[in-house]
Chains A and B, each alone.
Chain A
Amino acid sequence: MNSLIAGVILILCLSSYFFGRSEARKLVTQNIKLKALPAYYGYYLSLWCGLPALIIFGCWSLFEPTIIKVLILNNFPQIESKDLFYEQTLSFFNGNFSGEITNEIKAASIKYSSINIIAQNSKVVIIAAALIGSLTFAYRKIQNNNKARDDVEIILKVLLFTSSLVAILTTVGIIVSLLFESLKFFSTINIFEFIFGTSWSPQRAFVRDASAITPEELLELQDAFGSVPLFAGTAFIALIAMCVAVPIGLFSGIYLAEYASTKVRKYSKPIIEILAGIPTVVYGFFAALTVGPFFRTLGESMGLTVSSESALAAGLIMGVMIIPYISSLSDDVINSVPQSLREGSYAIGATKSETIKKVVIPAALPGIIGSILLAVSRAIGETMIVVMAAGLAANLTINPLESTTTITTQIVMILVGDQEFDSPKTQAAFALGLTLFIATLILNYIALRVVKKYREKYD
């Protein structure tokens, strides 16, 4: 049904283009001087034909299921688990319901079929009315020889502007979805307990309805959501990653920018950048199945107990993943340091490495710091490597051979599989997501500002 409507709208759009164009040409034969090229009259008619109908069609299809659901459930106020009931009704209506069929389900599905028919019919009628109305409106305009090009350009400009608003909408969507659930979470769990508490065991909160928690349970729950171990674990793994990535990345950047011959540069730069293009799940697989066990056997042979999900393995591989981000950004930054600075340094007898250490790096420092900050934000937001290679248990430790957990790991662990939306456990994932979002936002903002300031300095 829906594809039929969309098809009809599109065909009408296409034919109204040709119709509009030929109408405009007819005007020419009547010796009327056109105010735009004939094609613009076609575009004009076509846009007017398609846009209103498509907008109505889109909105209708988006909101129809929710509205029908509300309408039906209003008739059955006595039902307790409404979502389940509605789903049962739908599957009964579609004929693939297995289970006990109650009278309510039967009644609801009869209701559903009648509402559904009304909805379908009114959808068709409204869209047809919109099509006819806007087409006649646009056709009149064409007959009066309007300034079709100007009008078309205004419509297009509005379209362009709307699509650039999607970026703002996405940000708003992220903030709303995170804040909404987080606020619910913080209404049960004290926000200070969340930020400063030191024990994390969300499984205690599993399958508990947030609206019906007894005071004793609440006390127990308050203890379960202390996220300090997660923050510490995230910072720790990111630190290990940076210990790997910063020296290797920075030295590679320096070498590629200052020392490497064009041939070496031509081949090694893309190879290093491959590291940035490999999906993180591949790194996770490598870390979990090769690096982790390798470290464990290595540790055993030296008499150390190494967890097979050690922070070291996850951090190391994450560091490797981050190398190209640091190396290519610092390569760019170093390249944009003016040559005259280097030549000045050579002229007073400095060697190349002295020039780099004393002149180029200090000049490029803001840019390099910016690239490192961006890399840190990537490290704390990285998910798959830690999910697959780091541990699940939250323990506060600074021993890289033990396992720790991170914010992202816990979000995934909480949300994998079945989840009910009103349990504090699920909401905790959103609160963690909010923390992560804010942390990376601050880091990115500072980093982008620093890099921008630096670029302006030498441009």
Chain B
Amino acid sequence: MTKEQRLKKRYRAEKRFKMYGLISVSLAVIFVLILVQNIFSKGSSAFSRTMIEVAVNYDSSLLELESPINQNSLKDADFYDLAVESLLKIYPAKDSKEERQILRLFSPDYEFEIKDFLIKNPNKIDQIVPVKITASDDIDQLNKGNFPRDLPEDRRRVSNYQLNIYDNLIEKEKIDKKFNNYLFTKGDSRDPELAGIGGSLMGSFFTIIICLILSFPIAIMASIYLEEFAPKNKITDFIEININNLAAVPSIVYGLLGLGILLSVMEFPRSTPLVAGITLSLMTLPRIIIPCRASLKAVPPSIREAALSVGASKFQTVFHHVVPLAMPGTLSGTIIGLAQALGETAPLILIGMVAFVVDIPSSPVDPSASLPVQVYLWSEQAERGFVEKTSATIMMLLGFLIVMNFIAVYLRQKFEKKWN
């Protein structure tokens, strides 16, 4: 091999090496894009809900209302017969089997939707009024184009008869989509079209608040102690080793801690944001302490010396000068730690937050789910409607995480002093 050939070979190797690097970076970036695209394309349809317009005959004789007719008597009335009567009129049915199929076009809550409409508009009684009723998941998915129509009937969830009704309704322009407020206001449900993340949103909110209340003060106090006051001795070293190791312990181990100590020894209420918050705060503490210490360390010694030299005590130096200067760093570290806690799932599963909870929690000691757990729960469900709900939940979760991280970056860039 001549000198030139060798040189060429070396330059080729150089180019190849650089290419490997570029390919790796692009692979990572492409994966982020694929993931985000995948989630968004699956989840965006969850924000709309298919409604079927039905002419409801609010026939008071079917309601067996106690006179006088007012809000209360309407609330107590049984709307089932009236609802079924009106719904069955949308298409002729031969037998009871077909009638059942018609009713299955609607979400099981049709009775209450019809009732709520009358309670809101009590003057419509004894009139025939068009009311929009939430369609069942199958029709919803069909309308959003997520179910292929050309499959043989036994492999479809929608029968030929239902398909005929659907086409007929489309022709009469009785089917339309509206913004899915159920997604945000309702709790969990077995029916995808009625399931919402209201409950898990509140659960996550309580959990994060408790986590913040517990971990932020303790983390700041611990890092102030370790960075500013701790003597260099065995205890301090031991604490430091502990913190570093705890930051890398798998999160599921914290779940076992919560289960073994909080639930079985201390008998805290299961499945509640309270226990979740405590467990997550134990997990987040070391992850907050590390950046807090770093930002305390970044405050130059000259600040401390200046304060000490004008007669401030050690405490006054730390609390009047060092801590305020380190605040942007500590806050952004805390927010990033909380963002991690918000996305954490495994420990919450172990402390029982996987329970099926329909009610929206109103306090931290009510059983509830949380956003990531809701993702896990719904991803186990077979119905197509839950796939889009899961993706929408992930979109919400990612949205919160992005906002939190942005705030953290902003705090650091805007307020942190650069020392030279």
Question: Interface residues, chain A, CB within 8 Å of chain B?
Answer: 62, 65-66, 69, 149, 153, 156-157, 159-161, 163-168, 170-171, 173-174, 176-178, 180-181, 247-252, 254-256, 258-260, 264, 268, 271-272, 274-275, 277-282, 284-286, 288-290, 320, 323-324, 327, 351-354, 356-357, 374, 377-378, 380-384, 387-388, 408, 411-412, 415-417, 421, 429-430, 433, 436-437, 440-441, 444-445, 448
Q: Residue B418 at the A interface, CB < 8 A?
A: no
B301 at the interface (CB under 8 A from A): no
Question: Judging by beta carbons under 8 Å apart, are B313 and A149 in contact?
Answer: yes
Q: Which B residue's beta carbon lies closest to that of A175?
A: B257
Docked-complex contact A62 and B28, CB < 8 angstroms: no
* Min CB–CB distance A122 → chain B (angstroms): 21
Interface pair A354/B249, CB less than 8 Å apart: no
Name the distance in Å between A260's Cβ and chain B's nearest Cβ.
Answer: 8
Cα A153 to Cα B317 in complex, Å, equals 12
Cβ A259 vs Cβ B21 within 8 A: yes
Are B10 and A433 interface neighbours, CB within 8 A?
A: no
CB distance from B374 to the nearest CB of A (A): 9
C-alpha spacing A254/B23, complex, angstroms = 12
User: Of all chain B residues, which has the CB nearest A265?
Assistant: B25
Convert B258-301 into 0s and 1s, putting 1 for each residue whose CB lies closer than 8 angstroms to a CB of A: 01110010110000000000000010011001000000000000
Contact, CB under 8 Å: B349 / A156: no
**Would B222 and A167 count as touching, CB distance under 8 A?**
yes
| Nearest CB on B from A238, distance (A) | 12
Nearest chain B residue, comparing its CB with the CB of A283? B35
With A164-B221, A277-B339 already in contact, 5 other A-B pairs whose C-beta atoms are closer than 8 Å: A153-B313, A163-B222, A279-B375, A412-B346, A433-B253
Q: Which residue of A lies closest to B375 (CB)?
A: A281
Min Cβ gap A168→B in Å is 5
Across the interface, A174 reaches (CB within 8 A) one of B24, B28, B222, B257, namely B257
Q: Known A171-B246, A353-B18; judge A163-B225 contact (CB<8 A).
A: yes
B310 contacts across to A, CB distance below 8 A? none
Q: Is the CB of B14 within 8 A of A353?
A: yes
- Establish whether residues A160 and B224, one from each chain, have CB atoms under 8 Å apart when the complex forms: yes
A281:B372 contact, CB within 8 angstroms:
yes
Central interface residue in B28, B218, B255, B286, by most chain A CB within 10 Å: B28
Give the distance to chain A from B141, nearest Cβ to Cβ, in Å: 15
Identity of the chain B residue whose Cβ is nearest the Cβ of A83 in the assembled complex = B267
Across-interface contacts of B24 in A (CB, < 8 A): 247-252, 255
Given that A286-B35, A412-B346 are known contacts, is A352 also in contact with B14, CB under 8 Å in the complex? yes
B29 within 8 A of A: yes
Residues of B within 8 A of A (CB): 10-11, 13-14, 16-18, 20-25, 27-29, 31-32, 35, 38-39, 217-218, 221-222, 224-226, 229-230, 238-239, 242-246, 248-257, 259-261, 264, 266-267, 282, 285-286, 289, 313-315, 339-340, 342-346, 349-350, 354, 372-373, 375-376, 379, 387, 390-391, 394, 397-398, 401, 405
Instruction: Chain B residues near A171: list those with CB within 8 A.
Output: 242, 245-246
B286 close to A160 (CB less than 8 A): no
B343 near A281 with CB under 8 A, answer: yes
What's the A-B contact tally at a CB cutoff of 8 Å? 258
CB atoms of A279 and B225 under 8 A apart = no
Cβ–Cβ contact B376 & A251, under 8 A: no
Contacting residues, chain B, for A259 (C-beta < 8 A): 18, 21-22
| Docked-complex contact B313 and A415, CB < 8 angstroms | no
Q: Are A275 and B32 in contact (CB under 8 A)?
A: yes
Known: A160-B229, A170-B285, A327-B28. A278 touches B35 (CB 8 A): yes
Find out whether the CB atom of A255 lies under 8 angstroms from the CB atom of B238: no
Pairwise interchain contact A289-B379, C-beta atoms closer than 8 A: yes
Write out the residue numbers on chain A whose beta carbons fall within 8 Å of the beta carbon of B255: 415
Tell me the nearest residue of chain A to B343, going by C-beta.
A279
In Å, the complex CA distance between A454 and B14 comes to 28
Known: A160-B221, A279-B397, A430-B260. A167 touches B243 (CB 8 A): yes
B253 touches A437 (CB 8 A): yes
A280 proximity list for chain B (CB < 8 A) = 343, 345-346
Residues in B neighbouring A249, C-beta threshold 8 A: 24
Least CB separation from B225: chain A residue: A160
* Closest A residue, CB atoms, query B25: A252
Chain B residue with the shortest CB-CB distance to A414: B350
B7: nearest chain-A partner, CB-CB: A351
Residues of A within 8 A of B239 (CB): 164-165, 167-168
What residues on B are CB-neighbors of A388 within 8 Å?
Answer: 376, 379
| A107 CB to nearest chain B CB (Å) | 22
**Contacting residue for A440 out of B23, B250, B350, CB 8 A:** B250
Smallest CB-CB A-B distances: 5 pairs = A381-B250, A255-B21, A279-B343, A177-B260, A353-B17
Contacts of A408 in B (CB 8 A): 250, 252, 346
B264 with A421: CB separation less than 8 A: yes
A166-B218 in contact (CB<8A): yes
Residue of B nearest to A321 (CB): B31
Report if A440-B21 is in contact (Cβ < 8 Å); known contacts: A167-B243, A279-B344, A352-B14.
no
B253 touches A271 (CB 8 A): no
The answer to whether residues A412 and B252 also contact, given A288-B379, A289-B379, A323-B28 and a CB cut-off of 8 A, is: yes
A256 CA to B25 CA, complexed, in Å? 8
Please list 10 pairs of residues, one from A and one from B, whose beta carbons are closer than 8 Å in the complex, sorted by A's number. Answer: A163-B217, A248-B24, A275-B28, A280-B346, A281-B372, A282-B394, A320-B28, A357-B17, A411-B252, A436-B253
Indicate if the CB atoms of A281 and B345 lie closer than 8 Å.
yes
Give the residue of B245, B282, B346, B401 whose beta carbon is less than 8 angstroms from that of A444. Answer: B245
Report which of A167, A173, A290 forms a contact with B38, defined as CB distance below 8 A.
A290
Task: Enumerate chain A residues within 8 angstroms of B391, measured Cβ to Cβ.
Answer: 285
Nearest A residue (CB) for B258: A177
A254 to chain B, nearest CB (A): 6
Within the assembled complex, what's the spacing in Å between the Cα atoms of A440 and B259?
20
Q: How far is the CA of A296 from the CA of B217 in the complex (A)?
A: 50
Alpha-carbon distance A421/B342, docked complex (angstroms) = 28
Q: Provide the residues of chain A in CB contact with B350, threshold 8 Å.
A: 411-412, 415
Q: Which of A250, A285, A320, A412 contacts B390 (CB 8 A)?
A: A285
| B8 shortest CB reach to chain A, Å | 12
Complexed CA–CA distance, A327 and B32 (Å): 15
- Contact present for B260 and A62 (CB under 8 Å): no
B286 and A167 form a contact (CB under 8 A): yes
Question: Which A residues touch B10, using CB under 8 A?
Answer: 351, 354
Cα A445 to Cα B253 in complex, Å, equals 17
A320 to B387, CA, bound (A): 22
B29 touching A268, Cβ below 8 Å: yes
Q: How far is the CB of A272 from chain B (nearest CB, A)?
A: 5
On whether A285 and B248 interact (CB within 8 A), knowing A167-B239, A181-B260, A255-B21, the answer reads no
